[in-house]
Amino acid sequence: MAKKYFDKRNTEEAVFKCLMVLSIFIVAVSLISILATVLVKGIGALNIAMLTKTPEGGYYLGKTGGILNAILGSVILGVGATLMSLVISLPVVCYLNLYLKKNSRFALLVRFSLDVLWGVPSIVYGAFGFAAMLFLGLKASLLSGTVTVALLITPIMARSMDEIIRIIPFELKEAAYALGSTRLETAFKIIFKQAQPAILAATLVAFGRGIGDAACVLFTAGFTDSLPYSLFKPVATLPLAIFFQLGTPFPEVQKRGYAAALILTLLILTVSLSARFLSKRFTEHLLK
Amino acid sequence: MKPHISTKNLSVWYGEHHVLNNISIDIPDKKITVIIGPSGCGKTTLLKSFNRLIELQDGVKISGKVLLDGEDIYDPSCDITHLRKKMGLLFQKPQVLPMSIYENVAYGLRIHGTKDKEELDYSVEHYLKEASLWNEVKDRLNTSAWKLSIGQQQRLCLARGMAIEPEVILGDEPTAALDPISAERIEQRFLGLKNKYSIVLVTHILRQARRLADYVIFLYFGNLIEHGPAEAVFNHPKDPRTQAYIDGRFFEEHTS
Ligand SMILES: Nc1ncnc2c1ncn2[C@@H]1O[C@H](COP(=O)(O)OP(=O)(O)OP(=O)(O)O)[C@@H](O)[C@H]1O
Ligand SMILES: [Mg+2]
């Protein structure tokens, strides 16, 4: 009897372990095949000129030159939107976790709203940004694009940080207050410090999401062949460069689209890795 | 005898749960007051109501008054950060801050305005010595505080609490995580500190209570059963429940 019971539990364990390994396998294979596709199709067209020149020989579908306009545009727009979103997210998270009680209804409402906003498709943000832009009398520009992307990534950033900060032990807050810290000191010197890896991770996820989104910038940032030089002028972005180039009937131009995709992927990868590497130095004292 | 802290009809509820019932006591100035009572009777709650940390709990309701030097600390005009600076609280479970050992002690000093590096260095060393931790950590002040053993963390918290120079030290079983030698050292510290601070300690160790207490408060299921000078409470308790507790017996409710 006891033997049988034992067998059943062992079988259960084995079956579920198999399922887990299978799932991990699926994730790994998808990731590798995406990277491989981009790499194989794009590497041929990748050269120094791609990284250092603006499009030549015609409009942005140009067969020569590079996509420096889109690379710079995306970096500026992505970094700008991420910073803007960070400036909005930190106070929201601070208020939710330090100024409101745990069972506050208002906090519940804010978290629910952010979750809904997280789920809104980016094309809707794009459309909203476009409408707001017209209403304010602005044109497609770096500024409009940045603000729209910031709106898109703020729920992602705020909620990801919030989820981690919520589970920081209550005792840590108590200890800070007991020493006579104000709420703001508790937030910035203790809680955000302890949550720093989470804040960084949330920022990187939001950056990746923002820099890679095409629908948001389609109507709001526009596109141009020139390098970004003004907040109020249209700006080129990598997702749109990919979109336009892949959409042409010319195989040479399509290849350059894949090269642009490869550049975008490498860009996000580099930023993530270097940020994580840098942050290692500052996390030594964090409570484990 | 001038009381340092007094409570007047203090009652505390967590939601519907009535945790402290009409407590009126006077805590003497520059003496060691020990709160004893069975687990769950409200000792931690009482300590936390002295520095208003209790307010952070969800659904807590407080009625009555707590007076510090005659001033009502629950009055809206009371500056809560200043109040908490005056009441150094040591938690039942030591909670270090996510920083180095040095910064843990310096944190309180910094937020209360000390900037001078030499002054900080001096205070950190001084209070780590006060908490008898200095010798163990002097060579690794810049390593993480969480790497210390629990007993060392408890002493670090003591140093951190004393560094902000409170008027009152509230200790919630401050020696519970310590070996007998370190506990003895902390006890000696408290005895040495009582001419500078009013000290309120919670302890489950009755021998420790006898060694340290000038004044004793006995709580039982949220009620104040007995309080008075240590001598009187320990040797001639008036209430059979106090007698039973200090004899280490269960009290049979129906006999009262
Ligand atoms: N945040 C809370 N919410 C609801 N009930 C609580 C909360 N904190 C404590 N209590 C309850 O209040 C009562 C008193 O708790 P308290 O922590 O003050 O006891 P204590 O005397 O310190 O016990 P111990 O000696 O075990 O530390 C207990 O019954 C406990 O379950
Ligand atoms: Mg307790």
Q: Angle at the Cα of B48 (from A93 to B71), degrees rounded to 5?
A: 105
Distances in whole angstroms, Cα of residue B169 to Cα of each of A4, B10, B111, B196 = 60, 20, 19, 10
Task: Please indicate whether residue B39, judged by its CB atom, sits closer than 6 Å to ligand 1.
Answer: yes
**CB B26, CB B198: distance < 8 Å:** no
Pairing mode of beta strands B71-72, B87-90: unpaired
Q: Annotate A151-184 with DSSP letters as a single string.
A: HHHHHHHHHHHHHHHHTS-HHHHHHHHHTT--HH
Choose the closest CB to B81 out of A172, A180, A286.
A180
Domain boundaries, chain A: 2-42, 51-283
Count other C-beta atoms under 10 Å from residue B166's C-beta.
23
Give me the interface pTM, i.e. the ipTM: 0.92
What's the pLDDT score for residue A57? 65
The Å distance, Cα A9 to ligand 2 centre, comes to 41
Distances in whole angstroms, Cα of residue B78 to Cα of each of A44, B67, B74 = 72, 11, 7
Pairing mode of beta strands B60-68, B71-72: antiparallel
Task: Decide if B111 and A101 are in contact by the 8 Å CB cutoff.
Answer: no
What's the pLDDT score for residue A65? 80
Of B173, B166, B19, B208, the closest CA to residue B93 belongs to B173
Contacts of B21 (CB under 8 A, 6+ apart): B11, B222, B223, B224
B254: pLDDT confidence band, cut at 50, 70 and 90? low
For chain B, give the mean pLDDT.
90
Choose the closest CB to B95 out of A102, A175, A182.
A175
Share of chain B above pLDDT 90, in %: 64
pLDDT at A126 over 70: yes
Residues A6-31, mean pLDDT to the nearest whole number: 93
Residues A102-110, mean pLDDT to the nearest whole number: 92
Residues B43-55, mean pLDDT to the nearest whole number: 93
pLDDT at A85 over 70: yes
**CB A96, CB A162: distance < 8 Å:** yes
What string of H, E and C letters represents the secondary structure of B66-118? EEECCEECCCCCCCHHHHHHHEEEECCCCCCCCCEHHHHHHHHHHHCCCCCHH
What's the pLDDT score for residue B255? 45
Tokens 């270097």 label which residue? A274
Give the integer Cα–Cα distance in Å for A287 and B1.
Answer: 44
Residues A112-140, mean pLDDT to the nearest whole number: 94
Taking chain B, what is the end-to-end CA distance rounded to the nearest angstrom? 32
Q: Is the pTM of this model over 0.90?
A: no
What's the pLDDT score for residue B45? 95
A52: pLDDT confidence band, cut at 50, 70 and 90? confident
B253: pLDDT confidence band, cut at 50, 70 and 90? low
The Å distance, Cα B203 to ligand 1 centre, comes to 15
CATH class of A51-283: mainly alpha
For A22, counting Cβ atoms within 10 Å of its Cβ (0-12 exposed, 13-18 middle, 19+ buried), the class is exposed
Count other C-beta atoms under 10 Å from residue B15's C-beta.
11
Which residue has better confidence, A252 or A119? A119
Residues B131-137, mean pLDDT to the nearest whole number: 90
Q: Return the amino acid letter for B82.
A: H
The Å distance, Cα A162 to ligand 2 centre, comes to 30
- What residues of A are in contact with residue B174 (Cβ under 8 Å)? none
What's the pLDDT score for residue B216? 94
What's the pLDDT score for residue B256? 41
Task: Please indicate whether residue B55, judged by its CB atom, sits closer than 6 Å to ligand 1.
Answer: no
Distances in whole angstroms, Cα of residue A213 to Cα of each of A125, A146, A209, B226 = 11, 11, 6, 69
Give the integer Cα–Cα distance in Å for B143 and B139.
Answer: 9
What's the pLDDT score for residue B196? 86
Which residue has better confidence, B140 or A277? B140
What's the pLDDT score for residue A7? 84
Q: Return the amino acid letter for B166.
A: P
**CB A205, CB A160: distance < 8 Å:** yes
pLDDT at A9 over 90: no
pLDDT at B94 over 80: yes
pLDDT at A21 over 90: yes
Residues B232-255, mean pLDDT to the nearest whole number: 81
What's the pLDDT score for residue B3? 87
B191-208, pLDDT tens digit by residue?
988 888 899 999 999 999
What's the pLDDT score for residue A60? 54
Residues B222-233, mean pLDDT to the nearest whole number: 91
B177: pLDDT confidence band, cut at 50, 70 and 90? confident
Give the integer Cα–Cα distance in Å for B37 and B67.
Answer: 23
Question: What does the block give as tokens for A115?
Answer: 């979750």
- DSSP category for residue B144: B
- What residues of B are in contact with residue A182 (Cβ under 8 Å)? 81, 111
Counted across chains A and B, CB pairs separated by less than 8 A come out at 76
Cα distance from B70 to chain A (closest Cα, Å)? 21
- The secondary structure element, H or E, covering residue B60 is strand B60-68
